[in-house]
Chains A and B, each alone.
Chain A
Amino acid sequence: QKEVEQNSGPLSVPEGAIASLNCTYSDRGSQSFFWYRQYSGKSPELIMFIYSNGDKEDGRFTAQLNKASQYVSLLIRDSQPSDSATYLCAVIAGNNRKLIWGLGTSLAVNP
Chain B
Amino acid sequence: DTAVSQTPKYLVTQMGNDKSIKCEQNLGHDTMYWYKQDSKKFLKIMFSYNNKELIINETVPNRFSPKSPDKAHLNLHINSLELGDSAVYFCASSHPNGGTPEAFFGQGTRLTVV
Residue numbers of B with Cβ under 8 A of A are: 40-45, 48, 55-56, 90, 94, 96, 101-108
CB under 8 Å from chain B, chain A span 37-86: 38, 42-46, 49, 86
Say whether A25 faces chain B, with CB atoms less than 8 Å apart: no
Interface residues on A, range: 20 to 34
**Residue in A38, A97, A104 whose beta carbon sits within 8 Å of that of B96 in the complex:** A97
| Given contact pairs A97-B96, A99-B45, A101-B44, A43 touches B108 in the complex (Cβ within 8 A) | yes
Say whether A103 faces chain B, with CB atoms less than 8 Å apart: yes
Chain A 8-44 interface 0/1 with B at a Cβ cutoff of 8 Å (1 = within):
0000000000000000000000001010001000111
A to B CB contacts below 8 Å, 5 in the list: A44-B90, A46-B104, A86-B41, A97-B101, A99-B94
**Distance to closest chain B CB from A44 (angstroms):** 5
| Given contact pairs A43-B107, A43-B108, A96-B56, A101 touches B43 in the complex (Cβ within 8 A) | yes
A43–B41 contact, CB under 8 A?
no
